[in-house]
Structure 1
C-alpha cells in the first residue's frame, strides 16, 4: 500500500496525463499536472480505501457473527489492526501531500508577483531615461562611455556606438568644435553649452557638465523657437563668412566692383576700383566719392536697372588717361545696388581682326570643290561654301538662319540624306562630341543615295568646329566589294566547327581553317598554302595511317578522270576521335575536303547504351536488396521486441531501475528501427510498382479518433497538445484506411518533433465535395524557401531543430501514399512562422465485385 501511495504521489508532482479519449466537438483536451489532477489521485486513493473497506466488511460481519459463541483470537485482532492502520496512514499521507502542494503554489505566486513589480519599476525607469528627443553620454574615468536615450531619426545621429564618431554625422566645423570642448571637459572640467549642426541640417544643443567625478554631455534636439533661433544664429555666421569671402575675392581680381546705397552713394569698392580712380585705397575712394563712370552713364544705369532686369551694356570711360571700353553689369538690390566692370577693349580689337581674317578665309573656301561648314562656339552655322549647298541640297534661307549643328543634322535625317542608324540619339551625340574633343575626328558616312563620305570634324581652340566632307564613293565601293568577299570567305571558313581544307588541281592546299588543324593535330606551318597533299598526309600519319586514309583522299583530289567523284564516310583516329569526312568537287578543278567531329555523339550513344543497361541492372539489384534486407530485418526485430516485452513481465522477476531503463531504451530503439524498416519497405514497394491499396469505406470520425489515440503518447513525450477542428459529421469516404492513417500519423509526428514544448498542433479537416481535405499546422522554426523544394525528397534531414532525429522518410512516404490515392499534397512554410502541410484525398470507387459482395 505504501508503494502505491508513493507512486501516485510522484505522478501527481511530476507528470501530466493525456486523455486521448477526451475528444469532444472535434478537439483533443490534455489534462496537465494541476490541483485538479492531484485531487483526482486522492479520490482514487479514497476509492481504494473504500474497496478495502468493502473487503473488510464481510470479515467484520463474520467476526460479529462468531462473537456470540466464541471470543476473538489474538491473530484476528492483529490482522484487523494492521488493515485499519494502513488505511489511516494512507489518508494522512495524502492530506499532507495536498497541503504541501498548496504551500508551494502560494510561495510561487508571491515570487512571481514580486518579480512582476520589479520588472514594472525597471520599465518605468528606462522609459524616463530613454527620451526620444535627447541622449546622454557619460564618462566614468577611462571606462567606455555609457549611452542613454535616443535622438530622433531625422537628425541622422547613429543609434549605436558610432554615435561618438561625430565626424560621420555632424558637419566638420561642429564636429571639430565639439571634440575640442569634450577634451577640455574631460581634461580640466570646463563646462560648455553649444549648438551643433548635423549633416541633415538639423540643430542640436550640446551641454557638457562634470558631476560626482563623472563627465557627461546631454544632446537635445531643438524645436520650435529655440531651433529657429539657433538656425538664425548659424545662418548669420554663415552669411557673414560668405560676405567676407566674396569681398576678399573681389579685392583680389582685376575688375572694378562697387556697392551703392539707395541714394546712389558709394558704400564699398574693391582694390581695382580704387586703382582705376587713382585713389590710394578703396576707403579713400568711398570717402571722397570718386566715380568710375560718367554722370550720364550712372543716370542711365539708375533709370534702367530693376531687380528683375539688371543693367548690362558696354560703356566707354577714361582710365589712366586712356579711353577704355568696359562691359558693365549693375544689379539693383533692396539696400541699393552693386556692379562690376570688365575691360573689353582688347577683345573688341581682336574681334575686328578676326572678322577680317574670317572674311578672307571664306572667300578662299567658297571656291573649293570639297564641302566645308564652320560652326561657332554655340554650335550655330557661321559659314558654308557652294560645294556644301550642292552636296546636301538645302534651302538657302534655312542655312542663312544660322541653324544649330544638331538642328542641321535633324533636317538632313528628316530628308533621308543621312545614314540609317539603329540608335539615332547615340549616333548624333557621338557626332557632336567633336566640340569636346582635342583631336580631329573622322568617320565614314554611307548615305542612302549610295554616296560614301569621309567626314573630318576639327574643334576650334576658341570654340566651334569645322566640318569637311570628302567624297569617296567610287574608291570605297571597290574596296568594299573586295574586302567583303575576302572577309566573308575567311570568317565563314574560320568559324566553322567542321574542319575544311581546299586543294587545287595540282593537289596543293589553298586554304584550311583552325578546326581542320585541331582535328588532325598539325600546326599552321604544316598546312600552309602550297603544301602538297602527300606531305600533308605524312604530317597527319601519327593520327591516322591506314591504306584507306590520306592515300584515298590524294587519289580523289589529283585524279585526271573526266567526271570528278565525290565521296563520304567515317573514320576513327588513333586518339579516339570519330570523324565524318566528305570529298566535294569545286569549280576551277578545286576540291574541298571536310571533316565533322562526331566523337561526342558516338561516345554519348555508347555511354547511354551502357548507362541504360547498368541502371536497369542496378534498379533490379536495388529492389531485390531492399526487399530481401527489409524482410530479413523484420524477423530479428520482432524477436527483440518480443523478448523485451517478455523481460518486462513481472513473472520473470523484478528489474532494478537501471535495468528497466535499459529495457525501455531497447524497446524504443527497436520500435524506431521497425518503423524505419517498414518505411523503407513501403517506399521500395511503391518504387517497384507492386503496392496495391485496399480500398474500403472509412468513417472519417472513427479514423480521427484512432489517430488521436495512436499519437497521444508521442504528443505527451514532446510536451505538445493536439487541436482537431472538423465539422460535426465528416461522413465517410472510400480509401485505404491503413495508408490514410499512416499519412496522418506521419504528419502529426513530424509536427510534434519540430513544435516547441507547450505549443499546440492544429489538425483541420473538411469535406470539399467527395474529397477529404486536411491540414496539419505547427508553430515550429519553419522551413527556408531554398529547402521547401527538397522536403519531400528521401533522406532529406536538413532541419536541425527537431526534438529527435530521423531518416527523413516521413514526408516522402506521405507524398507517395497521397499520390497513390490520386491526391495532392502541398507545404507552406516560412522561417520562424511554422509549417502547414495540406493534403487532398479524393474518394475512390469500389470495384463492382466488391460492391456486390
Structure 2
C-alpha cells in the first residue's frame, strides 16, 4: 500500500509540475490534489479495517480448530466460547498492529500534508504571479470546461484594439474583428473544442489592429489567448498577414492561370521551369503540369528561348511572335516574357487563327486596293478625320491633281477648295452652303448621290457613302458618254423609225405575247393591210387571217405564229421564199430580237427571181457548150495525133537517101512540112495535157535527177530553136546543187516552154539567162529575156489558155505559160512574173523537192 501511494504521489507531483507551467490551471491543480489525497486516505482506512477483522477472526478460529483436532475427546471449551475467545484475541492483536501501523502512517500523512501545504503555497504564489500577468491589459484569455459550462474570460485588451470589455460582446467576434479574421477564429475555436486541435494565428480588428490568437487544450479545458502585440511583433504579424494574403493571391492567380487555355510558365533564376499550367502541359504533351516541370519539357525552341534570354530585361519585357510546333502543327504564338529578381514568367497566346485572318485581311485589302486601282471609275476614300486615305489612278486622271498634294493626305474640304481654285468643279452661287451640303455625308446615315456638271463639259454621278466607323467613300462615275449615248440612242430610235418607215422591205416586230409592236408601210403594202389592222397590240392571229387571203398556203403564217408564241429557250431564225396569188415572190426572214421579241421581214424578190431564172438557164447553156467544146477538143486532138505522126514519119522517110535524091526545092518543102508538123504535134500534145489536167487524171512520175544534168539536157534540146531565133542561152547555176525529186519529163517541159517563150520575144543577138538556185528543199528556176516586156492588160491574162502575146517572132496557140502554171501547180509550186516595159521579162518557178518518189493524182 505504501508503495502504491508513493507512486500516486509521485505522479501527482509530476502532474503538478506540468500544470504549474500553466498559470491558468495552477489553482485547479491544487484542489484536485487535495481531493485525491483525501480519497486515498479514506480507502486506506477501509482496507485496514477489513484486514484487521479478518486477521483476528482467523487467529481465534485457528487456535480453536487446532485444539479440537489434537484432542477430540476432551472438550475443555464449547464452540461459542472458542469463537468468542478467537474474536477477542484477534481483536486485541489487530488493534495492536493497527495502532502501530496507524501511528506510522500518521507520521507519513503529516509529512505529506506538510509537503502539500508547501506545494499549495508555491501554487498560490504562482497563481498570484499568473494573475498578475493575466491582469496585463495586453492579454485576454477565454476558458471552456469540457462539460459545456459557460466560458470564463480573464484579462483585458487595450482599448485602441477595439475589443469590447463586456464578456458577451467580446465573444461576438464578428462585431469587432474583420469578417475574414472572425470566420477564421470561430473555425479554429470550433476545431479546438471539438477535436483538441491547437492553433496559432493572427487576427485583424475593425480598427486595423493586429492580435495574436493562440488556442490550446490543458487539464480537460480549452483556452484561447488574445494577445495585443508590441511594435516588432505587430510588424511580424502584419508581415504574416501580408504573406498569407500574398500566398492566397498567388494561389488564386495560379488557379486562374491554370484555368486559362493559353500556356503559362514560370522559371527560376537559373532559367529552369518552376511552374506551368495545364495548357502548357497539354501543349508539350505531358501527363500533368508537374511532369512537364520534372521532365523540363520546353514549349519554345532553343533559338526562341535564347532570344528571350538575350533581349528580355526587368524594364523591357520580351513581346514578340514566335512560331513553334504544338501537337505536330506549326502554330504562331504571341509570347510575353517578364523578367524579375527571382526568375521570369511568360505566357503564350495562340494567334495562328488571328494571324491567318490578318494575313487574309491584308491580302483582301491589297486585292481590293489593286482592284480599285485598276478600275476605270475614280474612287477616293477618306478616314474619320475627313483626310484622304486612298485614291486610284482613275481619280488622278479625272482631276489631274499633283501627286505630292494627294500624298500629303489633304482633308475633303481642302480638296474641294483646290478643285474650285483650278476651275474643275461646278461653280455655285453659294459655295459655302454647297460645300457643307456635300460634306454632310460624314454625318449622314444614307448614301448621297449628286450629279455634277463640270466646266469642261463632263457629267459626273457622285456617290458618297459614309462608313460605320467613320469616313466616307467617294465614287465619281463619268456619265458623259452615257448621256451622249442616251442622246444618240434617242436620235437613233427616231432615225430608225424613219428609216424603217422608208424601207422597201416589209418589217414587222412582234412581242413575246404574239402582239405586233411596230410595222412599216412596205409591210402593209405587200400584204394589203391597213394601218388599223396593224396597229400596235394586234395579235398575230388577226394578221394571219388577213394575210391568208394573199397566200395559197395558210400554214406559213400559222408557222410564224407558233414560232412567235412558243416557250422554247432557243428561238432559231428562219428564212424562206414563197409566192403570192398575184405572182409576187417574197423572201421572208424570222429574226429573234432581244427581250424575246421577233422581227419578220419580207422582201419583194420578183425581179430578182426572174433574173435568177434567166441566169440559171444561160449558165446551163454555157455549161453544155463548154462540155461540147471539151469533147470536141479531145476528140479532134486524138484524131489529129495519128495523121500528124504519119506525116512526120513520111517526111523523115523522104529525107533518107534510100528513097532517092531530092532537088533543092523539094528538100526545102520537106523541111517546111516537117517543121510545121512538129509545131502542130506540139500544140496537139499541149491540148491533150491540158485536157488531162482538167479531167484530173494526170499523174506525175517522180524520180530523182541531178540538177546539173537537167540543165544540160534542156540546153541541148532547145539549141536548135535558139539558133533559129538567133539568141544565146546563158545558164547561171552553182555546181553541186544536188538532186531534186520531181517528174523529169514535166520539169523539162516547163523549162523548155519558158525558154521558147523568151526566145520568141527576145531580140536577135540577145542573151536569154536560165538561172537556178536552191533554198532548203525548194528549187528555183528563172528565165529572163531582154524583150519588150508585158503590158498590164496582157499580164492579167498571160496564164489564160489560147492567149498569145503580141510582138513575138512567131504567133503560137497561147498555151505555153498555161501549161507551165498547171505543171508547176501539180508539183505544189508557184510561178511569178517580173516584167518592165522595155527592160524584159523574168519568169521564176518555185518547185519543192518531193519527200519520196511517188505518183500523185491531179485533183
Q: Same fold (TM over 0.5)?
A: no
- More relative contact order, 1 or 2 (CA 8 Å, 6+ apart): 1
TM-score (norm 1): 0.35
TM-score (norm 2): 0.35
- Which of these two proteins has the greater Rg computed from alpha carbons? 2
